[in-house]
Amino acid sequence: MTLLLNNDDVAQLLDIKTCVQVIEEAYQDMARGEAVPCPTRTSIQVPLEGGVSYIHDSFKGASRRRGVLAIRMKSDIKGQEMSHGTLRETKWASRPGKFCGLVLLFSTRNGELLAILNDGLIQHLRVGVTSAVGAKYMCRPDAATLGMLGSGGQANSHTRAFAAVLPLKKLKVYSPNPEHRKAFAEEMSRTLGLEAEAVDEPKAAVTGSDLVAVCTNANEPVLKGEWLEPGCHVSAIRSHYALPQDFFSYVDLVVKHQEQNSSRSAVGSEEELRQAYVEEGTSRKRENIPTLEKLVSGQVVGRNSPEQITFFENNAGNGMQFAVAGAVVYERALERGLGRELPTDWFLQDIRD
């Protein structure tokens, strides 16, 4: 049987500590050649009226230890809008508030389609956990205060993941929406037992923090390098948008998630493409930056002194993360009888390619 698993199933089957364990293990395997992300992420853009675009995005990866390959793909209508004075990305599928993202999990032992999963919860967990694995190796071991820029889903998963690997005691959160940041602080205080404070400006979240996380969908810089204090570790997603050009002059040591390649195709005239929203910016080219696999395998060190300012650039995702997290979800679903069963023969045929 092939299992169909939704986000409610995933919530019951994948906890944050297990996700940290399997993601860290996967990058150690990757350093030994036992796991692999496809080096190229593919994206197709079709401009639509109103300055928005249809975007289809996919990538894949495999783990020999887990015996699986995953393909993660998403289908979105994307654009931009002003929200509380900040230019932000918009995204939806079918209608606002709904999204289409799937993980196809295949067996590398017999080629079968094992499962089809909603990607939403795994997506949030694997990004937050990847940043947390970087922080585990790059933060000072006594890091107790987290400054969070952002109050959405990625801020939630990052805070929970950081709390799983560090002795966090205090959270300071800023986002442009006062109600959102207040609600976020209250939720993290309630669920994680942190002393949590919603602050009125981004600098207040950064000052005095041992760890600063940039988890925002803002399309303009939200963090200034001069705000950072000695010994701070910074972790960021979408850094090509969220960080100013001079940010790296304030940082002593940088590790990035991975080498990033992408293949982007687009339909439409040159004028349509100029006017339509393009999904991602381009990561700034910096040579000889070590990657997460080298960090977790001990090939590089994440910090040389307590005073260093360190930075982990969570610059892109890969299918290997979905493979190992998806494998755990699938194995536990079989044990607990969760998910909808679909006949595997529906996905097989007697015509050879």
Domain boundaries, the chain: 2-122+318-347, 127-261+280-314
The parts of the chain modelled with pLDDT lower than 50 are: 278-285
In CATH terms, 2-122+318-347 corresponds, of 3.30.565.10, 3.40.640.10, 3.30.1780.10, 3.40.50.10170, to 3.30.1780.10
> What is residue 262's predicted lDDT score, i.e. its pLDDT?
66
> What is residue 280's predicted lDDT score, i.e. its pLDDT?
47
Place of tokens 């992300």: 37
**Common-topology check for domains 2-122+318-347 and 127-261+280-314:** no
> What is residue 142's predicted lDDT score, i.e. its pLDDT?
96
**CA-to-CA distance for 216 and 37, rounded, in angstroms?**
25
> What is residue 41's predicted lDDT score, i.e. its pLDDT?
84
Architecture of domain 127-261+280-314: 3-Layer(aba) Sandwich (3.40)
> What is residue 150's predicted lDDT score, i.e. its pLDDT?
96
On whether the pTM is more than 0.75, the answer is yes
Place of tokens 């692999």: 36
Could you tell me which residues are beta bridge partners of residue 46? Answer: 54
DSSP string computed for 280-348: ---PPP-TT--BHHHHHTTSS-S-SSTT--EEEEE----HHHHHHHHHHHHHHHHHHT-SEEE-GGGG-
> What is residue 165's predicted lDDT score, i.e. its pLDDT?
98
> What is residue 266's predicted lDDT score, i.e. its pLDDT?
73
> What is residue 315's predicted lDDT score, i.e. its pLDDT?
85
